[in-house]
Amino acid sequence: MIIARIFPKKSENFKSFQPFFQNLGDNMDSGGWIRIFSFWTLIVAGIVLNMDLENRYVYWNWEGWELGFGKLIVASFIYFYFLNPNNLWIIGARRLKNKEIVIHSIIAFVLLYIGSIGSNSLLPNFMGILSYLIAFLSCLLIFQFPLALDKDKGIWNCFDWNNKMQYFLLSLLLMVASVILGVFLDDPIMSTAGTVSVAFPLVGLIWPNHVRHLQRARFFPLFTFSMFLCVRAPWFLIPLCILFFLIRTINYFRFGIVYPSFGVDFLED
């Protein structure tokens, strides 16, 4: 991370900026900024589904970015002023109850539907939406294992591994089902991104409990789907990068860690 080289943790400049970023980070946590990644990805998945209906071979298409940004802004407004204050989108914050999983699934379907609405049709591709909804449920089950940051050591821990085999097995089966449906629908995004993502719940299922397997299974499927969506809707890279590096910068000055990150913790149990 470049900013870590410019502002080493022991430097005076780092310490002088820390109180400001601490206050900003507290607002970021209460606002649930980190959960916007999944929120936006569902919207853009719907947009890409609609693009696929209009042109099967669409690639790196900047057309419609204005409408796409508009949908993200409206969805973000709904999230910050309705869903987050009422604890209706709390993925990763804690283990969800069955009722809460159903609520998140309904919201995910609505987001996919909103994204898929285009100027030519209000009727979405329900089978296409179903494949992404199944993949979302697969990822949601992995987030049933919340991570807690040890602020002194700057590492992540998972203290609740109850029902690990059931959650990871169901997550694996759901991801495989979404891939099969994606192949059947001739959806290259779903079939390819889903195939890559199958490995993460599989590793978590087979290998012994370790936070690094959980870190990968939580981060990389979402990252994989987001990047594959950007292949068709490249404008999505702009808000993704802004949010990603903004949160990383804030967390670095707060805790001296690089998060979110492509790296994982390798400390022994």
Q: Is residue 166 part of a domain?
A: yes
Per-residue confidence (pLDDT) for residue 268, from 0 to 100: 45
Closest CA to 160 of 92, 261, 84: 92
Of 86, 138, 129, nearest to 109 by C-alpha is 129
Provide the domain limits for residue 60.
36-247
Full pLDDT tens readout for the chain, 269 residues: 788 888 888 888 888 999 999 999 999 999 999 999 999 999 999 999 988 877 878 899 999 899 999 999 999 999 999 999 999 999 999 999 999 999 999 999 999 999 998 766 667 788 999 999 999 999 999 999 989 888 777 788 888 899 999 999 999 999 999 999 999 999 999 999 999 999 999 999 998 888 989 999 999 999 999 999 999 999 999 999 999 999 999 999 998 888 888 777 654 44
Domain count, the chain: 1
The string of pLDDT tens digits covering residues 98-109 is 999 999 999 999
Residues 6 or more apart in contact with residue 2 via CB below 8 angstroms = none
CA dist 249 to 22, 64, 194, 217, 260, Å? 11, 30, 30, 23, 10
pLDDT tens-digit series, residues 99-143: 999 999 999 999 999 999 876 666 778 899 999 999 999 999 999
Q: Rounded distance, CA 177 to CA 55, Å?
A: 25
Position 120 scores a pLDDT of: 66
Q: Please give the structure tokens belonging to residue 143.
A: 């987030």
pLDDT of residue 265: 63
> Does any domain span residue 144?
yes
Q: Does residue 20 sit within a domain?
A: no
Inside any domain, residue 215 = yes
The whole-number pLDDT of residue 119 equals 61
Domain annotation covers residue 204: yes
Q: Are 15 and 254 contacting, i.e. CB atoms less than 8 angstroms apart?
A: no
Q: What pLDDT score was predicted for residue 121? A: 64
pTM of the model: 0.93
Q: Does any domain span residue 67?
A: yes
* Position 258 in a domain: no
Q: Which residues pair with 150 in a beta bridge?
A: 155
Rounded Cα distance, 210 and 67, in Å:
42
Place of tokens 């990763």: 92
Whether residue 189 lies inside any domain: the answer is: yes
Q: How many residues are present in the chain? A: 269
Query: Could you give the 3-state DSSP secondary structure of residue 139?
Result: helix
